[in-house]
Amino acid sequence: MNPAIPGPPTTQPQGLPAAYADIELGNNAQRLPLLLCLDISSSMAGEPIRLLNEALTLWGREIQEDVGLSSSVEIAVVTFGGAGIGVWQGPSLLDPRTTASPFVTAHQFRPPQLTASGVTLLTEAVETGIRLVAARKTELRRSGLQYYRPQICLVTDGLPTDSQGMATDAWRRLVPVLAAEQGAKRFRFYAFGIGGISERGQQVLRELAPKYHATLKGFPFRDLLQTMSASASAEQQGAEEETFEQLFNRFKTQRSAWDS
């Protein structure tokens, strides 16, 4: 189980009716791991990172208030930029040597305060995300907790680079991995290009996420995160693939409207 994350108390659900007040309930909710894989490289400095931090805070509150999601969705954040790959358990950056899971249930989630700098180690970040999701599923199985198909959401405004900041084709090794993992329904993978992502950057996302990629003008992080909540709700209901496509196509429609 995850350790409790320090933070202000959350609103507890209302109690049980008097006749059933002696029922003891733990949090056995069926879990839905949601991993946010966020670009915080130097190109995100200034307004973009401020908007991202603000959106994470607002979304964190919204998801806590959704009684259907707050005990079910588990959130982890992986960042790429700064000193490399960062794995966050709520607001805390985890020591790379730790074996603790970064996933915290939504009602415990407090967002990290992110700062932008460094290079775009997108490939390594996605690989880290895939590994963390697989590990979390193993933990959940061992705990006897059921779970829904996890979601990984990649958000970037740039091209993948190596640790020296040079553009690299290393991301190509992700393509067959992501295809196989999604073919086996191990998770859903969404890729969003934001800000001024280049055509080449968009092409990377198209290849990584052939069905679920989108390029958004500006930095509509809140809308993007709300879509992750909507996708989580759809997953809980066992929605068909076309429901997820409709959710995602909304972004493409918006983009067309803006473009026009």
Partner 1 sequence: MARATETGPVEGRAWRVHGMSVQGYRHAQQGMPCQDAWGTTHTGPPRSRITVLAVADGAGSRPRSQEGAQLAIQLATSVYGARLAEWDRAPRNAEDLRGQLQDAFLEVLDAFLADTRALSGDRSGSSAGRDGPADFATTLTVVVLGTGWLGCTSLGDGFVVLRAGEEDGEPQFHLLPQPESAGEYGNETTFLSSADAALRVGIACVRDDGVDGVVVSTDGLAQAALSGGQGPVLSVNRSFAASVLRSLDRPGPDPRSDARELRALLLSDRLTALNADDKTLVRAVRTTDGPGFGGELP
Enumerate binding residues for partner 1 (CB under 8 A). Answer: 1, 13-20, 22-30, 67-72, 141-149, 185, 233, 235-240, 243
Considering the complex, what minimum distance in angstroms separates the CB of residue 11 from partner 1? 10
Q: Please enumerate in sequence order all residues whose Cβ is within 8 A of that of 149, keeping only pairs 6 or more positions apart, or say none.
A: 32, 185, 186, 187, 188, 235
Considering the complex, what minimum distance in angstroms separates the CB of residue 236 from partner 1? 6
Question: Residue 84 — left, alpha, or beta (φ > 0 → left; ψ -120 to 50 → alpha)?
Answer: left
Nearer Cβ to partner 1 (189/219): 189
Nearer Cβ to partner 1 (101/123): 101
Considering the complex, what minimum distance in angstroms separates the CB of residue 150 from partner 1? 9
Considering the complex, what minimum distance in angstroms separates the CB of residue 139 from partner 1? 11
Q: Per residue in 212-222, is it b (16+ CB within 10 Å) or e — as a string?
A: bbbbbeebbbb
Nearer Cβ to partner 1 (21/257): 21
Nearer Cβ to partner 1 (23/166): 23
Pairing relationship of beta strands 92-93 and 32-40 according to DSSP bridges: unpaired
Considering the complex, what minimum distance in angstroms separates the CB of residue 177 from partner 1? 18
Nearer Cβ to partner 1 (59/147): 147
Residues facing 85 on adjacent strands: 80
H or E stretch including 29? none
Nearer Cβ to partner 1 (83/180): 180
Question: 200-207, long-range: CB within 8 Å, 24+ apart, which pairs?
Answer: 200/159, 201/156, 201/157, 201/158, 201/159, 204/122, 204/159, 204/160, 204/171, 205/154, 205/156, 207/172, 207/175
Considering the complex, what minimum distance in angstroms separates the CB of residue 134 from partner 1? 12
